[in-house]
Structure 1
Amino acid sequence: MTIPPNDILQEAIHYAQQGLPVFPCEVDSKAPLTRNGFKDASVNIEHIKCWWANHPTANIGMPTGATSHLIVMDIDPRHGGDHALQGLLDHYGPLPDTLTAITGGGGTHYYFRYPGHFVKCSMGKIGPGIDIKGDGGYVIIPPSGHESGSNYYWDGEFDLETVADIPEWLLSLIHADNTSIAPEAESTENSIPQGQRNNTLASLAGTMRRVGMSYDEILAAILKVNENRCQPPLAESEVCQISRSVCRYEPDTVAVAVAENHYDQMFSPEPGIADPGPIPETLLHVPGFVQKVMAYNLDNAIRPQPVLALAGAIQLQAVLAARKVCDARENRTNLYVIGVAGSGAGKEFARKINRRILNTAGLNHLDGHDELASDAGLVKAIENNPAILFQIDEFGRYLRTMGDPKRAPHLYNVITAFMKLFSCADSTYKGKAYADPKRNVEIHHPCVGLYATTVPDNLYQGITLESLKDGFYARLLLFETDHFPSRQQKAAAKVPQEVLDIAKWWDAFNPTGNLHDQFPEPVEIPTLPAARDIFDDLAARVDDELAKKNLYSSIWARVEEKACRLALIYACSANRECPVIDEAATQWACQLSEHITRKMIFIADQWVSDGYFDEKQKKVLRVIRDAGGRISQSYLGEKTRSLQKKERAEIIDNLEETGAIKKELVKNTTKTVTYYVLLQ
């Protein structure tokens, strides 16, 4: 049965509103229609509307694993999955009642909660016809269509509350099975190493296509080869892309592609900078105080935002420990954190929680002003309270002054002062020099934190070449989320006493006694040898990036410094009375700092322009990317109506000439439609 396009779109939007990221897929092949496959999955309604405007009959895909917090067991009766499952149930007992879907091919999808750690996808390892869709996988969800003419549908009502925990026996089988094949995979002489995987799979696919094999037949074969021989296996979406690309050739022409080795062109690494995606769910957990503040936040928020709850809680712990702890390299807890979310998505709640906790605990002196009129006002506030957290809304307008100081010189001076203060926490801040020595300001060990929020466009438009070159952007940590959670209505709860007790404990903790306010001597938190090794690994990766000597070197130069400060905050949160920077603290801090850095570089690459024409070019490229990497000429015109027709044509011609996009002509029953496809 064919589902009306508008119904498919509305269902996709409904899933996104439930917090499930989705993306469009082809009906017959199940292959993603977005540039980066399931990695492009989003809960952003505007992105979803763009995708389905370009592909109105597309199926709905959903990534599995940490991204959606769901694991799916796929039972295919055509390959004996029903019999294999029954054998497992006879041995281990029945499955728990859980959300279940019937596939268009007559199979069954059992949905389980993500266990909080990596779960590898597998095909047939648990049993014939039983696939596990975990991290790096995706599934088609109802009411999507199937090449058989049937549709996917839910076995009962769709309700995420009914999703059960994955059975321990099933999880054990998944891990045991993965473990059991590891030695064999490592020792086999036929393994396909990294760097040869795409070409080898494409060559195999081409050979099969030459004898007339279909997309499904080729895909099934190379998925098995990928799983058994590729070291490490490619993501399932990449394998689908290989099969789809090869099947564009007719059987009688694919031999030419094989002979001329077109695969190097089809699957060579793409230029440009990849989007690392959202902050992984595994990095949203910091034990101790941070976790308690996050729990209080998420339990009381109208729209719970875990990423922003983490950002706010990190900064609260940072200011409580400010000027009181350091690591062996004299790093302190001061960070500049920016929470990025759409309007009405709940970005302000973490600021309110921090303020509520500080005020209730009687620690108002740590809570800085939420508006800064001048750099003199900023410095005066810090002079009065050298350990302080400023919480500012709509921070994008501050950033925009970096490109045009005359536009708002007072804000420009505020940013300049923040830049200097970032590196003064272990030394002395000296303000402007005046003829009257009484006006000269010196602040010993100022530990200034910033938690600011902004909507995405205001932030992105404020990122300039100047802010990249002068290093202010590099000092930031962007906690970005496009999640728009459902509303929850709960009566406001008081701050938990345990949270207040910990906040007051930190206030009472004065390592240097009565002189702490003027001349603090922080306690050095020890770093374990294994943790130092993790920092060294990060430093080596940073050195590789710095060797490229490009526009983003200033951002990479701050990665390890920010990781050290994050690890210090983690240690204080986990055990305030006996903190230690251990492997867990360092692993979390390094992964988070590196992930955010890659995201910041991706954002800068998309938005920072060199002049007017480049700015408009990047706008056109963003529109095509947001549409899934392929957009019709008419829809592109609609989304860029601010451009004049001649101007748009010049931009498109230049993008084609430079290899950024290509033109596709698609004939239908009435006319030929022009599409533009992203190549970078």
Structure 2
Amino acid sequence: MTTPADNLKQAALAYAEMGYAVFPVTPGAKAPPLTAHGCLDASAHAAQVEAWWDAYPSANIAIATAGLMVIDIDGADNPWLTDQPERQLQLAAAPCSLTANGGRQFIYRQPPGRAWRNTAGRLAPHVDTRGNGGYILVAPSVLDGGKTYRWQPTCELEQAPTALPTPPDWLAAMLDALEQPAAEAPAPTDGNSIPEGQRNQALARIAGSMRRVGMTQAEILAALQRANTDRCRPPIPPQEVERIAASIARYEPDQAFTAAVEGHWDQMAQGEAEQELAAPPLPDPGPLPDELLRVPGFIGEVMDYCLATAPYPNPVMAFCGALALQAFLAGRRVRDPGDNRTNIYLLGLAHSAAGKDWPRKVNTRILHEIGLSDGLGDRFASGEGIQDALFLQPSMLFQTDEIDGMLQSINKAKDARHENVMGTLLTLYSASSSVFPMRRKAGQEAPSAIDQPNLVIFGTAIPNHYYEALSERMLTNGFFARMVILEAGRRGPGQEPRIVDLPPRVLETARWWANYRPGTGNLEDWHPSPTIVQLTPEAQALLVETRQQAEAEYAAAEARSDPVGTTVWGRVSEQTRKLALLHAVSANHTAPSIDAAAVSWAAQFAMHQTRRMLFMAQAHVADNPFHAECLKLLQKLRAAPGQEMAHSVLLKRMKTDSKRFGDLIETLSQNGGIEIVTTPRPGTAHRRYRLLE
């Protein structure tokens, strides 16, 4: 189930008109926010709210809870207060939101003099609070899977924040007891040392004071580095200083005071007070094995033709192109018993002139020959443009070379247009078996809709550009998890160009798909009833096994608080089913069946590709500039012969000064990332650095 975009926009404007500060959150999810600073960007100004939902029409609605107190009771059968009916009645005097996961959220305003913040499970088991520094989703927001937020009948949010009730006395007393404010330590003055246990907090407060008067991240960092060296006993690692400076600098100067009041500075001290267990490094499964690039039938035949005619044959890119073509042709025509469709988002990583363009040309030529070239797209002009194209042609194949540029623009918050594209792509992916509601256009009485949209993406990117665009935000917003990402590796030897006709069998199969109309009746093009491709019992058992394996990996990622791991492993079962369906219709388009061979291939493919994606994310995504340099150094060693390198060579390749280089080596040596190998020589010692993985 999806919520019409106009409903979301109008609801957001209505909340703002009542005086609630709102901001947009990723469609179908509780997080991440679609603004740079999350709840700190929340606004009750209609113009700002309208601009946000024009840019992200399918975004969920979040209300910032600064000045409010929300009692968040998880689960419809939560036993809290069941033995105290009088208190239950008093609790119900506040507006009540029924959450998408079956919980209840009672919304109060904070009394004067209170500054209640967020807590988790401290008020009672599975009862959280949301106050200063927090937010909640509100109706008509919807999560993936169709679960919606709604208001409890007769307890709707209809009053301004100032008209909300305050918590009853017994609840206020409990909330007061949760507050354990640390004594406000005065900012250290020149000459005072900062002892261990107070260093992060003290440096964060210094940074906050500087940010409030408009100082830049570079200015803050320079001051913190000096304070760390001169006054912290002992100094904290350089990368931690950079993290503090970057974290504080993300606030606008006028937001720094709010952040201080809400205790954001104090959270910096948690790095010293609570040492988290580091997740073990993920093993590298290596690029996808060649045998997993072979699919019988149509996909293999298109791939073979591409390799035989390409100036620079590239098996990975040829496979991506053939798989995308099959996914497009079968879209809205077949499905599996779980209503999984063939829409997939493929990304092939290859360097310039390595054969990225030829598979696109082959696909274009085939579709032109069979009369389906109007289903091709080559760039994402805007989210609305994608919607308009699919409204006219509900099944489309976008072949684009701009994926890395789009991700970089989003990551650097340069272009809201690309954010809008991302939101549209995420929503369309999940709407392939339902209806995608479009925005209402001027002059329309009601918004249009796209029935069972089949959007297939065959994107290409240059590897280093793509990796530079990665960030935790990009890895956890759902787009990364939906992508099938394959690396082409080094360019192979070229071959002399020659004109070769398209294979008759390829054209025959492609035309069969173009003419295939499942179902009966005059509405089959507008509202098709795709053929269900059945599973064999052996295939069903393998799918269950794969799902359970993915669930175990998800649980392990959840236990180590790994948001990237949970995001990616959460999609593996779905990806496996889509790939198995594509294998089946490629092998036998006239009478397909998802058998054990199809599921075995799909499961191996999905598992390997997921592990490779997570390894590459771990190897390239940095938390701060110092961490980025650490990862860069590890990459240099990983690519070196024997995974080791001489001191002088590595220093030159890192292109940094000797002091910074020394900090990198010391940090990586202490955390077990590298080993320093010293060989005695006459007059001096020869140092080498070896990767430890």
The superposition leaves residues 286-326 of structure 1 with CA deviations (integer Å, 9 ceiling, x where unpaired) of 11111110111011011111121111101101111100100
Matches within 5 A, 1:491-530: 491-513=498-520, 514-530=522-538
**What CA RMSD, in Å, does the superposition of the two structures yield over aligned residues?**
1.7
2:602 and 2:544 map into 1 onto residues whose CA distance is: 13
Q: Is the contact between residue 276 and residue 595 of structure 1 (CA under 8 Å) also seen in structure 2? A: yes
Instruction: Provide the residue aligned with 1:449 in structure 2.
Output: 456
SS at match of 1:547: helix
1:492 and 1:519 map into 2 onto residues whose CA distance is: 40
Instruction: Provide the residue aligned with 2:330 in structure 1.
Output: 321
The superposition leaves residues 339-377 of structure 1 with CA deviations (integer Å, 9 ceiling, x where unpaired) of 111222112211111111111221112212x12221111
Shift in Å at residue 438 of structure 1?
4.6
The superposition leaves residues 30-62 of structure 1 with CA deviations (integer Å, 9 ceiling, x where unpaired) of xxxxxxxxxxxxxxxxxxxxxxxxxxxxxxxxx
Cα distance, 1:439–1:458 mapped onto 2, change above 3 Å? farther
Aligned pair count reads: 408
Matches within 5 A, 1:19-418: 271-368=280-377, 370-405=378-413, 407-418=414-425
1:438 and 1:500 map into 2 onto residues whose CA distance is: 43
SS at match of 2:551: helix
Cα distance, 1:615–1:433 mapped onto 2, change above 3 Å? farther
Instruction: Provide the residue aligned with 1:631 in structure 2.
Output: 645
Shift in Å at residue 504 of structure 1?
0.9
Q: Is the contact between residue 305 and residue 483 of structure 1 (CA under 8 Å) also seen in structure 2? A: no
Instruction: Provide the residue aligned with 1:129 in structure 2.
Output: none
Letter of the aligned partner of 1:578 in structure 2? A
The superposition leaves residues 234-293 of structure 1 with CA deviations (integer Å, 9 ceiling, x where unpaired) of xxxxxxxxxxxxxxxxxxxxxxxxxxxxxxxxxxxx941111112112212111111110
Letter of the aligned partner of 1:328 in structure 2? P
Instruction: Provide the residue aligned with 2:540 in structure 1.
Output: 532
SS at match of 1:652: helix
Instruction: Provide the residue aligned with 2:597 in structure 1.
Output: 584
2:683 and 2:446 map into 1 onto residues whose CA distance is: 78
Shift in Å at residue 517 of structure 1?
2.1
Shift in Å at residue 404 of structure 1?
2.5
Instruction: Provide the residue aligned with 2:170 in structure 1.
Output: none
**2:563 aligned with 1:556:** no
Shift in Å at residue 662 of structure 1?
2.3
SS at match of 1:337: strand
1:273 and 1:411 map into 2 onto residues whose CA distance is: 31
Cα distance, 1:436–1:283 mapped onto 2, change above 3 Å? same
Instruction: Provide the residue aligned with 2:620 in structure 1.
Output: 607
Shift in Å at residue 435 of structure 1?
7.3
1:611 and 1:490 map into 2 onto residues whose CA distance is: 47
Letter of the aligned partner of 1:403 in structure 2? N
SS at match of 1:402: helix
Cα distance, 1:462–1:590 mapped onto 2, change above 3 Å? same
Letter of the aligned partner of 2:492 in structure 1? P
1:299 and 1:453 map into 2 onto residues whose CA distance is: 21
SS at match of 2:351: coil
Structure 2 residue corresponding to 1:650, chosen from 658, 663, 678? 663
1:331 and 1:299 map into 2 onto residues whose CA distance is: 33
Q: Is the contact between residue 402 and residue 464 of structure 1 (CA under 8 Å) also seen in structure 2? A: no
The superposition leaves residues 485-525 of structure 1 with CA deviations (integer Å, 9 ceiling, x where unpaired) of 10100312121222111111111110134312211110100
1:409 and 1:655 map into 2 onto residues whose CA distance is: 37
Letter of the aligned partner of 1:414 in structure 2? V
2:576 and 2:409 map into 1 onto residues whose CA distance is: 28
2:389 and 2:658 map into 1 onto residues whose CA distance is: 52
The superposition leaves residues 106-143 of structure 1 with CA deviations (integer Å, 9 ceiling, x where unpaired) of xxxxxxxxxxxxxxxxxxxxxxxxxxxxxxxxxxxxxx
Q: Is the contact between residue 311 and residue 339 of structure 1 (CA under 8 Å) also seen in structure 2? A: yes
The superposition leaves residues 403-459 of structure 1 with CA deviations (integer Å, 9 ceiling, x where unpaired) of 223x12212211221111111100011133567545733111001000001111011
SS at match of 1:459: helix
1:365 and 1:590 map into 2 onto residues whose CA distance is: 33
Gaps spanning 5+ residues in structure 1: where?
Answer: 1-269
2:622 and 2:639 map into 1 onto residues whose CA distance is: 18
Structure 2 residue corresponding to 1:488, chosen from 489, 495, 502? 495
Shift in Å at residue 401 of structure 1?
2.8
Q: Is the contact between residue 391 and residue 450 of structure 2 (CA under 8 Å) also seen in structure 1? A: yes
Q: Is the contact between residue 379 and residue 402 of structure 2 (CA under 8 Å) also seen in structure 1? A: no
2:416 and 2:636 map into 1 onto residues whose CA distance is: 33
SS at match of 2:294: coil
Instruction: Provide the residue aligned with 1:471 in structure 2.
Output: 478
2:659 and 2:456 map into 1 onto residues whose CA distance is: 48
Cα distance, 1:438–1:448 mapped onto 2, change above 3 Å? farther
2:606 and 2:441 map into 1 onto residues whose CA distance is: 39
Cα distance, 1:638–1:502 mapped onto 2, change above 3 Å? same
Q: Is the contact between residue 315 and residue 488 of structure 2 (CA under 8 Å) also seen in structure 1? A: no
Instruction: Provide the residue aligned with 2:116 in structure 1.
Output: none
TM-score (norm 2): 0.57
Work out the percentage of aligned pairs sharing the same amino acid. Answer: 34
2:445 and 2:579 map into 1 onto residues whose CA distance is: 37
1:624 and 1:381 map into 2 onto residues whose CA distance is: 47
SS at match of 1:488: coil
Cα distance, 1:347–1:435 mapped onto 2, change above 3 Å? closer
Q: Is the contact between residue 437 and residue 448 of structure 2 (CA under 8 Å) also seen in structure 1? A: yes
2:484 and 2:416 map into 1 onto residues whose CA distance is: 24
Shift in Å at residue 378 of structure 1?
1.0
- Greater alpha carbon shift after TM alignment, 514-523 vs 566-575: 514-523
Letter of the aligned partner of 2:319 in structure 1? L
Q: Is the contact between residue 334 and residue 448 of structure 1 (CA under 8 Å) also seen in structure 2? A: yes
Shift in Å at residue 634 of structure 1?
0.8
Q: Is the contact between residue 275 and residue 598 of structure 1 (CA under 8 Å) also seen in structure 2? A: yes
Instruction: Provide the residue aligned with 1:594 in structure 2.
Output: 607
2:452 and 2:308 map into 1 onto residues whose CA distance is: 36
Q: Is the contact between residue 467 and residue 473 of structure 1 (CA under 8 Å) also seen in structure 2? A: yes
Q: Give the ranges of 4+ consecutive aligned residues of structure 1 lying more than 6 Å apart after TM superposition.
A: none
Structure 1 residue corresponding to 2:654, chosen from 640, 650, 660? 640
The superposition leaves residues 516-552 of structure 1 with CA deviations (integer Å, 9 ceiling, x where unpaired) of 2211110100011100111111112111111121131
1:409 and 1:296 map into 2 onto residues whose CA distance is: 40
Cα distance, 1:433–1:651 mapped onto 2, change above 3 Å? farther
1:475 and 1:330 map into 2 onto residues whose CA distance is: 17
